[in-house]
Amino acid sequence: MNKYYKTLTLVIAFLILSLVTVASFAYFSASVQGNNNAYDTVITTGEMALMLNDGEQLRLNNAIPGDSITKEFSVKNTGTVETTYDVYFSELLNEFEDKNDLVYTITSPNGCSDNTEKIVPSVSSNESKMVNSCSINPNQTHNYSLTITFKNDGTNQDDNKGKRFKTKISVNEYKEYDGIAKLISGSDLTTIIYKFVSNKSDIHDIIVTNEDPTEITNKYKVSTDDSDYDIYLYYQDNILYYNCKKNLIQLNESSPSLFSYFKLDIIDLSKFDFSQVKDMSNFFSGTGNGNTEVILGENFDTSNLENMYYMFGDSNFKSYDFLKKFNTSKVTNMMDLFARSKSNIDLELSDLDLTSVENISYMFSESNFNSITFNNISIPSATNLYMMFKYCNNLKYVDLGENLNAKSATNLYGMFYYSNGIVSIDFGDNFNPESATNFQSLIYGCKNLVSVDFGNNFNPKTLGNNSTIISDCPKLETVNFGDNFNPDMTNSGYIFFGSRNLKTIYLGNSFRSKSDYRIDYMFSDAPNLETIYVGPNVYFDTTSPKNIFSNNTKLKGGAGTTYSSSHVDTTYARIDDPEHDKPGYFTLDPKYQ
Q: What is the pLDDT of residue 215?
A: 85
Q: Is the pLDDT of residue 486 over 60?
A: yes
Q: Is the pLDDT confidence value at 414 over 90? A: yes
Tell me how far apart the 2 most distant CA atoms of the chain are, in Å.
Answer: 128
* pLDDT above 60: residue 43: no
- The rounded percent of the chain whose pLDDT value lies above 90 is 61
The pLDDT assigned to 47 comes to: 46
Beta bridge partners of 232: 221, 243
Which residues, other chains included, contact 397 with Cβ-Cβ below 8 Å and sequence gap of 6+?
Answer: 370, 371, 372, 373, 422, 423, 424
Between the CA atoms of 323, 376, 329 and 189, what dihedral angle is there, to the nearest 10 degrees?
20
pLDDT tier, 28 (very low <50, low <70, confident <90, very high otherwise): very low
Query: What is the reported pLDDT for 260?
Result: 96
Q: What is the pTM of this model?
A: 0.71
Q: What is the DSSP string of 312-323?
A: TTT--BS--GGG
pLDDT one-digit tens code per residue, 401-411? 999 999 999 98
Is the pLDDT score of 40 beyond 80? no
User: How far, in Å, CA of 250 to CA of 241, rounded?
Assistant: 15
pLDDT tier at 232, thresholds 50, 70, 90: very high
Residue with the bigger pLDDT between 292 and 32: it is 292
More confident residue, 439 or 141: 141
Name the region of 34 (left: φ>0; alpha: ψ -120 to 50; beta: rest). left
* pLDDT at residue number 547: 86
Q: Stretch 110-120: mean pLDDT, rounded?
A: 91
Residue 4 pLDDT level (bands cut at 50, 70, 90): very low
pLDDT of 56 reads 66
Instruction: Tell me: pLDDT of 568 over 90.
Output: yes
Confidence band (pLDDT; 50, 70, 90) for 52? Answer: low
Name the β-bridge partners of 134. 85
- Confidence category of residue 126, pLDDT binned at 50, 70, 90: low
CA 409/CA 90 separation, integer angstroms: 62
**Residue 11 pLDDT > 60:** no
**Dist. CA 101–CA 115, nearest whole Å:** 18
CA gap 102, 205 in Å, rounded: 65
Q: What is the pLDDT of residues 321-352, one digit of tens each?
A: 999 999 999 999 999 999 999 999 999 999 99
Question: What value does the CA radius of gyration of the chain take, rounded to a whole number of Å?
Answer: 38
CA atoms within 13 A on the CB side of 60: 24
Q: For 380-441, what is the HEC assignment? A: CCCCECCCCCCCCCCCCEEECCCCCCCCCCCECCCCEECCCCCCEEECCCCCCCCCCCECCC
Strands, E assignment, 127-201: 129-136, 141-150, 164-177
What integer is the mean pLDDT of 290-299? 93
Residue 337 confidence (pLDDT): 98
Query: Is the per-residue pLDDT at 13 higher than 50?
Result: no
432-465 confidence digits (pLDDT tens): 888 887 888 899 999 999 999 999 988 887 776 6
pLDDT of residue 42: 34
- Predicted confidence (pLDDT) at residue 155 exceeds the cutoff of 90: no
- Over the stretch 357-401, which tens digit does the pLDDT of each residue have? 999 999 999 999 999 999 999 999 999 999 999 999 999 999 999
* DSSP letters for 150-171: E---SS--GGGTT-EEEEEEEE
CA 454 to chain centre: 28
pLDDT value for 92: 83
Average pLDDT over residues 115-135: 84
pLDDT of residue 49: 60
Contact in structure between 395 and 371 (CB atoms under 8 Å): yes
Tell me what pLDDT residue 496 has: 75
pLDDT of residue 53: 66
Q: What are the b/e assignments for 564-580, b being 16+ CB within 10 Å?
A: eeebbbbbbbbbbbeee
- Which residues partner with 72 through β-bridges? 145
pLDDT computed for residue 19 by the predictor: 35
- Beta-strand (E) ranges in 178-309? 205-209, 219-221, 232-236, 239-243, 249-250, 266-268, 272-273, 293-295
pLDDT of 59 above 80: no
How far, in Å, CA of 455 to CA of 462, rounded?
17
